[in-house]
Structure 1
Amino acid sequence: MSCTATETQIQEREDFYDSPYLAEHYDLFSARFWEPERLDVPIYLEAFKQARKAHDPTSTHPFIVLDVGTGSGRVLSGLVLGACQDAQVDLADDDIEFVGLDVSPHMLSRAAETRPIPRGICTSWVLGSALDLRAIPLLKGGDAVKVDFLVFAAGGIAHLVDAGQTEAFLREVAAVLQPGSGRAFVSFMNAVMDSADEESIDPVKEQQELPSGKFPGIVYRTINASSEIVGKTHIDRRDILVIKKETDGSERVLERNTISTRLASWSPEEFAGMVQATGLEIVDTIKERVETYYALKLRG
């Protein structure tokens, strides 16, 4: 079987989400190797219900749910659908707004295409950064407009690897979170937080293929996967080939993506220190087999 490509057909990328193909690959990979192990949506749903109960009923501003690093919207849509199915939660009011924030337009497009949101539920997919939450259009209505429930799921905070980025994100959370009743949930993968186990980062080291569900004849082939730890940073590398399988049995490479993912590793004590220094406090810690969840509120 031949596998060929011209120079113009091959794309070299370092971003895990920087094409429509990669956005679908991320969902397929997560569904096979990560999501079966995760218990996050039920945890966030219960916390959302508690935050909703604590919301000031006299407020003239909407109850805002913000999913930072929403990706293709798995957690946000899970919250919406879970709340719709829970008799204790009333989403009939027009005072709840769900916002999914991500830096990748391809992931946001996939969220809008693939995540079912019931009619009448106010949901928006917003292009933006975890380091600039105050730039979200919904939050530009003055200091009175705050986030009531925020999540940064799937260990996404660990992607803030450059010096000062984690603290910058936490300062943004402190700036937009509703005083008193507002809650922010962030999670760390247990394998990453203060871990020296290089084998625990990437669940797949051998070559593997995932068939596309969207693009006919397309498969995603991962090769050259490896992991290492440099200082306090986990580095996961892989090549992801987007391959078109032709009817004559030949293969054509449409994209060759060289992906390098860096994840910051903080000990619980280090993270608690950053939280304290940015005007927040940890009010609850939930440790499951795969992830540890921290519930934060404004201090004071």
Structure 2
Amino acid sequence: MMEMDGQQSAHGESYAYTSPYWAEFYDMWVEEIIGSAALTKDDDFFFNLLSPFLPNSTRVRGPLRVVDMATGTGRVIRGILQKMNSRAQGELPGDIQKELEIWGIDHSQAMINRAKGLLEDKMKPSTTIVWRTSAAANFVDENPELRNAVDLLIFAAGSIGHLTAHGERRKFLQQVVKALRITNPPQTPRSIAAISILKPDDGLQENCSEQHVAGKEVRFNAEMRKPSRQWPHLEYCKSETMTLKDKGILVNSFDLKIVETATGKLLSQEKYSWSLQVFSQTEWERELSDCGLSISQKVETGSETWYILHLANKKSLV
């Protein structure tokens, strides 16, 4: 089956998420923009999404299964496990973590490699962690064991905006419908998909203000220098971010230099780029309805608007 992946098709080798350097720098950049305190609050949000399922896990057919779509460097997964370790002691049966199965899915092998390494460095979970490389528009078709077997799907950091190819977001939503477990409330909690949209003023999405005239580049985010933790002798030097708006798509790019700290020698200089789809509420709600998903709740957090979705009917797409 041919994958639909708008980012890879549009940017090729310049696509940021294929670079081995990008994975570590991405974490530093996100923390610089959003702040560590806000990221900690996000961990609470993710755990609260999961917590209604925990006492009921023994009544669910098969493992309690969570999918972290576009897992990146695994921040959502680490946050959930850290909260389980800190909050669940003495409150939940000891075998709950063993019954939990979390899937980290991303189309970038470089990001998954970093996610694995960070998890192994920070904790040894008793929870089963499954890592898969897959495009969002095909994630169930490529992993059929997820069909009608997912209790909670999380798509964080506005990453759904990266689905920029024609029809790509709709295909992803159809995959979500295939994945969500058909349950029988109130005996078992209703399966949900939590999908976030970045607010327009968020530094990761840049800005969709009146400054953006089609075909005209706009500069955002100052230059940034950060020492590498993975390679202590190296330093990252990021240029300003350039954003070009074209037909409802924001094309973002910046230069990233890799410099030897002691000598100042330039080891690498690459132009990294990626695209984001400008969000349309009307189009989004129409796609959800067409694909068989309903909005249970809309939640505002610091930098994101979250849509909590459930199956509109009991018939899964085939």
1:74-93 alignment to 2 at 5 Å? 74-87=75-88, 88-90=91-93, 92-93=95-96
Other-structure match for 1:177: 180
Structure 1 residues 184 and 91, CA, compared in 2 at 3 Å: closer, same or farther?
A: farther
Structure 1 residues 90 and 132, CA, compared in 2 at 3 Å: closer, same or farther?
A: farther
1:240-255 alignment to 2 at 5 Å? 240-246=256-262, 249=263, 251-255=264-268
What secondary structure does 2:181 align onto?
Answer: coil
Distance in 2 (alpha carbons) for counterparts of 1:182 and 1:83: 20
The counterpart of 1:156, out of the listed 159, 163, 174, is 159
Other-structure match for 1:129: 135
What secondary structure does 2:25 align onto?
Answer: helix
Q: Does 1:97 align with 2:101?
A: yes
Distance in 2 (alpha carbons) for counterparts of 1:273 and 1:49: 30
Structure 1 residues 35 and 123, CA, compared in 2 at 3 Å: closer, same or farther?
A: farther
Distance in 2 (alpha carbons) for counterparts of 1:131 and 1:117: 31
TM superposition shift of 1:271: 1.0
Letter in 1 for 2:279: W
85-94 or 37-46, larger mean C-alpha shift: 85-94
187-196 or 164-173, larger mean C-alpha shift: 187-196
Aligned residues: CA RMSD: 2.5
1:23-172 alignment to 2 at 5 Å? 23-36=23-36, 37-38=38-39, 39-53=41-55, 57-87=58-88, 88-90=91-93, 92-93=95-96, 94-115=98-119, 116-135=122-141, 137=143, 139-140=144-145, 143=147, 146-172=149-175
Distance in 2 (alpha carbons) for counterparts of 1:158 and 1:28: 21
TM superposition shift of 1:135: 4.1
Cα deviation digits, residues 49-91 of structure 1 (max 9, x gap): 1233565x43341111100000110011101111222234546
Structure 1 residues 170 and 64, CA, compared in 2 at 3 Å: closer, same or farther?
A: same
276-285 or 222-231, larger mean C-alpha shift: 222-231
Q: Counting helix residues as a fraction of each chain, which structure ranks higher?
A: 2
Number of residue-to-residue matches in the alignment:
280
Structure 1 residues 86 and 136, CA, compared in 2 at 3 Å: closer, same or farther?
A: farther
Q: Which runs of 5+ in 1 are unaligned?
A: 1-11
What secondary structure does 1:146 align onto?
Answer: coil
Q: Which runs of 5+ in 2 are unaligned?
A: 1-11, 184-189, 213-217, 314-318
What secondary structure does 1:17 align onto?
Answer: helix
TM superposition shift of 1:109: 1.1
Distance in 1 (alpha carbons) for counterparts of 2:101 and 2:181: 14
TM superposition shift of 1:228: 3.1
Structure with the greater relative contact order (CA < 8 A, sep ≥ 6): 1 or 2? 1
